Amino acid sequence: MQKIGTHNLRYWIDKPIVVEGKQLVEVYIQGHGLCAKGQLFVADKAKQKGLGSYGGGGYRGAELKNVEITISQNSAGTNFILEQVGKIID
């Protein structure tokens, strides 16, 4: 994702999940030869768009536009953090 650039990819919501008390969203990711499913931690700014409170999965299949994702790496692994969403197209 870093080589392609997260801004060059398209994202669709599959479902929300909670891991160790943290809100995540599972997404389908496509673009530039990449087709994958990933889990993104939902940051506070993204929660303001309603992504932190849709526990029922009402946005399943919706496309996320103008997405800002940061990638954090440490000895425990790699985390993808959904920092901001410009628009949710349902």
Give per-residue pLDDT as tens, 18-38: 888 888 999 999 998 999 999
Considering only residues 51 and 25, tell me which one the structure prediction assigns the higher pLDDT: 25
59 confidence band (pLDDT: 50, 70, 90): confident
Q: What percent of the chain has pLDDT over 90?
A: 52
76 or 54: which leads in pLDDT: 76
SS (H, E, C) the chain: CCCCCHHHCEEEEEEEEEECCEEEEEEEEEECCEEEEEEEEECHHHHHHHHCCCCCCCCCCCEEECCEEEEEEECCEEEEEEEECCEEEC
